Amino acid sequence: MKTLVVVAHPKLASSTTQPFFKAAVEDFTTVTWHPLHAEFDVTQEQQLLTEHDRIIFQFPLYWYGAPGLLKNWLDQVLTVRFATGNRYALADKELGLVVTAGEAAADFQAGGAEQYTMSELMRPFEALAHKLRMRYLPVLAVHQFLYLTPEAQQRLLVRYQQYVNNPNFEHFAGQVAWFSDQLRHQIAKADSASAALNQVLESLENRQSELDDLAWNLSMLKKEEDS
């Protein structure tokens, strides 16, 4: 799976979250990091989109939507001839959003300071995905990054890596498989001192079915508790 991360940040140089995200995925060879500029070549951008399977729009929330920088790009790159018409060049690809917001998560609900959920505010993107016959992924919203503890940042990093790079990040089995893959890469890179990592990997793989059972039992238990 190849992923295109379309980064739309009008003040990229002064952003703290974008370098964090960039560092998180720079070792992934199947991920293309693509910061937008006001000027671009429509044909090149279309080419880039067709070459990837998962498209991610990544931006700070400006007045309840993407910055004009991204909207301009969408208005021009997604021509009718390319995106719909007879061609539907992006059909069956995935569309994800990584949205950074300075407001707390709890503000985004009825009665909260921002009144609407992130899902509601991102409806135009959901409608876009539907129109282009893409699969819309759940939004990855990052609230108040600067206030996160180092541990929370670390968890976010792994979550982000999977959002970008894990074909099956929404399911437990997919998460375990992805972690095994990551370990295998680490071992291949490490050469020496990989005995410990090998052991972790082996143990993870031997217990895959056990872990699946565990995850399934846990979800059943939760359902019973809720009903």
Q: Which residues bind a second copy (CB under 8 A)?
A: 10, 62-75, 78, 114-116, 120-121, 123-128, 130-131
Are 23 and 29 within 8 A, CB to CB? no
Beta bridge partners of 100: 60, 142
In the complex, least distance from residue 10 CB atom to a second copy, rounded to whole angstroms:
7
What is the Cα–Cα distance from 14 to 59, expressed in whole angstroms?
13
What is the Cα–Cα distance from 102 to 221, expressed in whole angstroms?
36
Element (H, E) at 96: strand 94-101
- Closer Cβ to a second copy, 82 or 160, answer by number: 82
- Closer Cβ to a second copy, 76 or 153, answer by number: 76
Q: Which amino acid is at 39?
A: E
- Closer Cβ to a second copy, 109 or 168, answer by number: 109
User: Which of 159, 156, 140 shows the shortest CA–CA distance to 148?
Assistant: 156
In the complex, least distance from residue 60 CB atom to a second copy, rounded to whole angstroms:
10
- Closer Cβ to a second copy, 22 or 71, answer by number: 71
Are 6 and 48 within 8 A, CB to CB? no
- Token code pair at residue 106: 């709890």
- Closer Cβ to a second copy, 110 or 195, answer by number: 110
User: Which of 168, 179, 189, 165 shows the shortest CA–CA distance to 32?
Assistant: 165
In the complex, least distance from residue 127 CB atom to a second copy, rounded to whole angstroms:
4
User: Which of 78, 76, 77, 74 shows the shortest CA–CA distance to 66?
Assistant: 74
In the complex, least distance from residue 75 CB atom to a second copy, rounded to whole angstroms:
5
- Closer Cβ to a second copy, 59 or 145, answer by number: 59
In the complex, least distance from residue 130 CB atom to a second copy, rounded to whole angstroms:
5
- Closer Cβ to a second copy, 137 or 164, answer by number: 137
In the complex, least distance from residue 27 CB atom to a second copy, rounded to whole angstroms:
33
User: Which of 61, 63, 70, 65 shows the shortest CA–CA distance to 122?
Assistant: 65
User: Which of 54, 32, 56 shows the shortest CA–CA distance to 44?
Assistant: 32
In the complex, least distance from residue 65 CB atom to a second copy, rounded to whole angstroms:
5
